[in-house]
Structure 1
């Protein structure tokens, strides 16, 4: 990997302000020493999410699989097919047995709920490393 980026942008999508806050708190401002400091973007609706991803500049997107009315797994699959430079997508799953559904969604990684800080920071850090090392996103 080249130099450590100074700042990175991580988007978190959920209709629940509590879920968005839990993700931000668990991941923190810098998930690992070799990742940049996070600038958070919060999206509470599908329209907000679509707009932010269309504008570009998002390094990692974290989507709530339980979001209402549109869940993050369906949106992850949609973005993987529709966006040319889709950032790595992490899906929050409520049940470990939903891992197969996250695979179907083409998510790059999952974070299980309840959200565990060390695990979630590690998952986000790994996806940031992949994004900045030029490892292509699987389609």
Structure 2
């Protein structure tokens, strides 16, 4: 397995895709999580995307360790996009969806996302969810490399 398929950029950073049609939401995610939310994971490199078509392009190409998708994006919401990615991409990386309110958690379940964080974004909750998902992905990737 190459570094790109393991979710690392050529520089060795974990690549996290952040999708929202709202630039302020993308900036809020970056600011809340930071570039090194857990020393054991290393640095994060963000790929900010404003359209669903580009998300699909990046995810098809591989190389993302995690995708954070805004359920409030338009015209394509992150929840439907998460479901599409999970249905269409073999070994899809973990997906975290940003939902409009806590009561929308059932939609996150439907989308097959591994985690959901409601708006307004709580930096501690978002950071914790991102770290948990990246740790799970690291354990998953290590298992694949050992089995080859």
Q: Flag whether TM exceeds 0.5 (same fold).
A: yes
What pairs up with 1:36-51 in 2 under 5 angstroms? 36-51=42-57
RMSD value over aligned CA atoms?
A: 1.5
Match of 2:100 among 94, 105, 116: 94
SS at the partner of 1:21?
Answer: helix
Partner of 2:85: 79
Unaligned runs of 5+ in 2: 1-7, 144-148
SS at the partner of 2:46?
Answer: strand
Per-residue CA shift, 1:53-88, capped at 9, x if unaligned? 011000000000010000000010111010012110
Aligned equivalents of 1:130, 1:106: Cα separation in 2: 16
Question: Are 2:27 and 1:24 equivalent residues in the alignment?
Answer: no
Structure number with greater CO (CA < 8 Å, separation at least 6) is 1
Match of 1:121 among 113, 119, 127: 127
Scaled by the length of structure 2, what TM-score is found?
Answer: 0.85
Per-residue CA shift, 1:36-69, capped at 9, x if unaligned? 2000001100111011101100000000001000
Scaled by the length of structure 1, what TM-score is found?
Answer: 0.91
Structure 1 stretches of at least 4 aligned residues deviating more than 6 Å after TM superposition: none
**Between Structure 1 and Structure 2, how many residues are aligned?**
132
Aligned equivalents of 1:91, 1:18: Cα separation in 2: 16
